[in-house]
A and B are shown apart, each in its own frame.
Chain A
Amino acid sequence: MVEAAVVSGVAAVSAFGRGTRPLLSATLAATPVFRRVERFDVSRRRVSVAATLPGQPDLLEELVGVVDQACGEAGLDERARETCPLLLAVHGDPTLARADVDDRPAHSAQSLADRVVARTGLSDKLGLDGRLASPPTRVYTSACVAASTAVADAATLVALGRADRVVVAAGYLVESDQFALFDAGRALATDGSVRPFSAGRTGLLLGDGVAAVVISSAAAAARRDAPVLARVAGWSRTGDAYHVCQPRPDGAGLARAIGTALRRAGVRADEVGYVNAHGSGTPFSDAAEAAALHLALGSHADRVPVSSTKSVHGQALEASGLLEFIVTVLAMREGCLPVNAGYLEPDPECRLDIIAGEPREASPRYALSLNAAFGGANTALLVGAA
């Protein structure tokens, strides 16, 4: 029997502060906060801006904070947490590359996840179902699909009846090394704005993002009288089999993910009322995503409202998919769809109904949250209204 997977707790930290409300408000008001980075020296970089919290936030502390908050919202007491595993999406322990050689193993991403588990009382026991080869705490490092893959896996664990509930957490705080790499790769926007799907877009900008969600079976949520914020109605992960770091120009891989997510849920393309796009703001990637939407949704791709909230909160790398999943859930509940900030004018390569200027009042029954990453990895998450 397939169990329904629901979202029963969410928490987020972004450049707008701690909490989901400031994040949602900023995406609805289209007020990005890309500003000069003060956290480290950017004087030798081509680009010097990102969406960052003030000061030097600590990834472990922020992860513990969002996990505690999401579990609290889902009504998970100490005992419920003991059987709830953690799926964590991160680039790695940010201290690894500067640790003493002999200390490097202690700075693994797994060790970071284990510390989050120890601090928050989540499950560290072997076996979600008694037949696993490894402990249940898992770390996903699949770049920009790390968090969305973790959500898909959490929904799968619930759907297959292997877990009553799973916490998915993710975190990226803008730091000097990835900033230098993205700058060297000429991936960063040179005009201080992220303009997904727009003519004149010049690239992405990085942003802080730390987030957590509790994915439960509908039955487990009901037993605890936990809130049901949304349903994870469908999901899929696919590969392009195309290139080391470029997406397939025809979008076929991402289109397959969208199609599978819809079929899994038994939802028609024209029932999708909003797409929170990957929309990185890079010329090639946005065009491929637009092609994928046309391939997967047919003529509905001309009508479905689309925005990329990276235009507001920035690209949070391994954590971005979770930040965007949460924005999608909250926007559906708010009855208002977020704005694609920075939009100048249509690009013929991206024929989509972009939500530019003002947010749109709408209460879709279904929305897609899409992500794509280096290596041709794609994910589609279909969010159903509660």
Chain B
Amino acid sequence: MTNVATDRRLVDDLVASVQSVGLSVTASSAWPDRADDPPPPALPGFVLSSFSPLVAEVAERCLGAAAGLPPLPLARGDRTAFVLVSPLGDVAAAVHVAQTVDRGGRVGPLLFFQSVPNSVAGYVAARWGIAGPVVCLASPGAGPDVAGLLIDDGEADEVLVIIADQSYMDAAGDRAAAVLVRRDASKGANP
């Protein structure tokens, strides 16, 4: 069973972390964000694993809260980056592939593109018109720092930061959080 108090802590920690590096939060979201939160809906073309639907769902909630319906206006989308943090990546799909290979089977062709976190990032970016940098990281706490770096480097004005923590045991322990951030003008760039 999902522990919602613990799961909300992921987004609360993410908000605190981005604020600690001088970024301000335009919108945030979590999955699950309540005890009876239904599972993220399936995504066309993504199979066998909760990872990509989890990412897409928190992205939808966060961007929806910030901007309404997709896509973002062109000028805003062009200046928005996407940083996706996943400590173990799509571990359910990776385990399925390994088990299939070890028993001498053939893996399904759809799993080909699903094997990298970029693919669901591309799904979100295409849907919302996010045309800034797409960066995937495995370092659990690095999202806020890399988001700040992209803004300070002039590559984006806003960054969608998602941490997707797919359970390494079963989907019941999945959790994810998203924030849309920009540089807090009153605090300026990091030194």
Within 8 A of A (CB), among B100-159: 100-102, 104, 106-109, 111-113, 115-123, 125-126, 128-142, 144-146, 149-150, 152-153, 155
CB distance from A329 to the nearest CB of B (A): 22
Q: A140-B137, A244-B113, A376-B134 are in contact. Are A104 and B126 (CB under 8 A)?
A: no
Q: Count contacts on A: residues with CB < 8 A to the other chain.
A: 65
Determine whether the beta carbon of A133 is less than 8 Å from that of B141.
yes
A348 vs B52: C-alpha distance in the bound complex, in angstroms?
A: 37
Residue of A whose beta carbon sits closest to that of B19: A133
Binds B, one of A19-27, A28-36, A105-113: A105-113
Does any Cβ of A come within 8 Å of B42's Cβ?
no
Interface string of A371-386 (1 = CB under 8 A from B): 0011111000000000
Determine whether the beta carbon of B137 is less than 8 Å from that of A245.
no
CB distance from B43 to the nearest CB of A (A): 9
A97 vs B87: C-alpha distance in the bound complex, in angstroms?
A: 13
CB distance from B98 to the nearest CB of A (A): 4
Determine whether the beta carbon of B21 is less than 8 Å from that of A131.
yes
Determine whether the beta carbon of A134 is less than 8 Å from that of B144.
yes
Q: Chain B residues with Cβ under 8 A from A98's Cβ?
A: 98, 102
Determine whether the beta carbon of A149 is less than 8 Å from that of B122.
no
Binds B, one of A195-203, A232-240, A296-304, A353-361: A232-240
Interface hub of B45, B122, B169, B189 (most chain A Cβ within 10 A) = B122
Q: Count contacts on B: residues with CB < 8 A to the other chain.
A: 69
CB distance from B130 to the nearest CB of A (A): 6
Which of B86, B100, B122, B134 lies in contact with A245, CB distance below 8 A? Answer: B122
Determine whether the beta carbon of A236 is less than 8 Å from that of B155.
yes
Residue of A whose beta carbon sits closest to that of B123: A244
Q: Chain A residues with Cβ under 8 A from B120's Cβ?
A: 244, 375
Q: A162-B190, A244-B126, A376-B125 are in contact. Are A181 and B97 (CB under 8 A)?
A: yes
A159 vs B189: C-alpha distance in the bound complex, in angstroms?
A: 14
A6 vs B108: C-alpha distance in the bound complex, in angstroms?
A: 44
Determine whether the beta carbon of A374 is less than 8 Å from that of B21.
no
Does any Cβ of B come within 8 Å of A156's Cβ?
yes
Binds B, one of A172-180, A268-276, A320-328: A172-180
Does any Cβ of B come within 8 Å of A4's Cβ?
no
Which of B117, B139, B144, B155 lies in contact with A110, CB distance below 8 A? Answer: B139
Interface string of B82-107 (1 = CB under 8 A from A): 10001111010011011011101011
A102 vs B20: C-alpha distance in the bound complex, in angstroms?
A: 33
Does any Cβ of B come within 8 Å of A267's Cβ?
no
Does any Cβ of B come within 8 Å of A143's Cβ?
yes
Determine whether the beta carbon of A129 is less than 8 Å from that of B100.
no
Which of B21, B116, B131, B133 lies in contact with A133, CB distance below 8 A? Answer: B21
Determine whether the beta carbon of B89 is less than 8 Å from that of A141.
yes
CB distance from B75 to the nearest CB of A (A): 13
Q: A177-B94, A239-B125 are in contact. Are A104 and B88 (CB under 8 A)?
A: yes
Residue of B whose beta carbon sits closest to that of A260: B155
Q: Chain B residues with Cβ under 8 A from A133's Cβ?
A: 17-18, 20-21, 141-142, 144-145
Interface string of A239-258 (1 = CB under 8 A from B): 11111110000000100100
A176 vs B94: C-alpha distance in the bound complex, in angstroms?
A: 12
12 CB-based A-B contacts, threshold 8 Å: A92-B88, A132-B145, A133-B141, A134-B144, A137-B139, A143-B118, A237-B132, A241-B128, A244-B113, A244-B119, A375-B121, A375-B123
New contact pairs (20) apart from A133-B17, A142-B134, CB-CB < 8 Å = A97-B94, A110-B138, A133-B145, A135-B139, A139-B137, A139-B142, A141-B86, A160-B189, A178-B115, A180-B107, A184-B107, A184-B112, A238-B133, A239-B122, A240-B122, A244-B126, A245-B119, A374-B119, A375-B136, A376-B126
Closest 6 CB pairs of A and B: A185-B112, A375-B122, A375-B118, A134-B141, A97-B98, A237-B133
